[in-house]
Amino acid sequence: MTEKKGKKGAREGGDRLAEYRGKRDPHRTPEPVPEERALPHGDDDTFVVQEHHASSLHWDLRFERDGVLVSWAVPKGLPWSPKTNHLAVHTEDHPLEYATFEGDIPQDEYGGGTVTIWDRGTYETEKWSEREVKVVVHGSRVSGRYVLFRTRGKNWMIHRMDPPADPDAEPLPEALRPMRPVRGSRMPRNQDEWGFEFAWGGRRLLAYVEGGRTRFTDGRGREVGGPAGLGSRLGGRLGARPAVLDGELAVLDGRETYMVFDVPHLDGRPLLDVPYRDRRTRLDGLELSGPSWQTAPWYPGDGEAVRETAAGQGLPGVVAKRLDSPYEPGEESSAWRLIPVSRRR
């Protein structure tokens, strides 16, 4: 049953936006900074989740309550399954106008970084106390029953009370051993059935990205540390989209770069049985391009031209991949072929 409550007492506790105003200069930030002590009033049923690329990526969860947006910063986003609780840090109340805010806060200001609306909608209150909040949210990306419960100080936890939002979604695997090519000397026949990539001559590295965080395993499936700064930046680029990326850490133009060429898992879906052609299309759709990572190019059907280019760039070879090939973890498969540039037909 939805909780009924009075509002008068809650509003008489002083200026609920004093802390918010005290942290912001309206002349230096595009955020709404209302001057009036009087609080606007809505229907106490608005919620918004904002993706905030600040010093560390997090998601801001806000509920309209008694004329303000009561707010929590959730470092890993809302949990999609009841099996996992996520930290939620209670922050200062925000003005109602913040429910529509998107923009760039200057880096030298409080909360400096980019804010975008990740989801918004309405909610119903089942319980609201100083230590526990139970709500039912209705958004376009997240819906269901959630409870926030206080643990210590400003630290709370958020728990999904419903079954998983997507019952078919699967968590990221703990570790995958990458698929490996066989070594060959000849280009495959029927090249229109194959895609071709450069062999970068780097170190194999799989990235497991979830909730804006990244961990890495090596070519044998062992957990390893990634290059400084790569994990947080790559995690920030994918945001709330969980993924396993396969690639090589190579030195290009004197700089270490993670060249991503496959995506065995994306958005809660294993893609091991999805053909290489379709996996590459999904990978390209992620538009991964940054200062220390790139989506590796691929070329359907023209292996000789790719090998000539590889030779001209001093790369060790070409990897030919059947367009219909699945991803076979830990296997050395003839569906992938490493062809050195030093050998000719």
Q: Where are the domains of the chain?
A: 17-160, 180-340
How many CB atoms are located within 10 Å of the residue 197 CB? 22
Residue 72: the pLDDT is: 98
As a whole number of angstroms, the distance between CA 74 and CA 178 comes to: 32
Tokens read off for 140: 């376009």
Q: Look up the CATH architecture of domain 180-340.
A: 2-Layer Sandwich (3.30)
Residue 36: the pLDDT is: 64
In order of 90, 152, 174, 211, 266, the CA distances from 87 in angstroms are 10, 11, 21, 12, 23
* Inter-residue contact 66 to 10 (CB < 8 Å): yes
Residue 342: the pLDDT is: 66
* Inter-residue contact 303 to 318 (CB < 8 Å): yes
Residue 37: the pLDDT is: 55
* Inter-residue contact 187 to 303 (CB < 8 Å): yes
Residue 41: the pLDDT is: 62
Local mean pLDDT, 10-residue blocks, the chain (345 residues): 43 74 91 69 85 92 95 94 94 94 94 94 96 96 95 97 88 94 90 96 96 93 91 89 96 93 97 98 96 96 92 94 98 96 58
Residue 75: the pLDDT is: 93
- Chain centroid to Cα 343, Å, comes to 41
Residue 282: the pLDDT is: 98
* Inter-residue contact 154 to 91 (CB < 8 Å): yes
Residue 16: the pLDDT is: 86
> Residue 338 forms beta bridges with which residues?
183, 319
Residue 44: the pLDDT is: 80
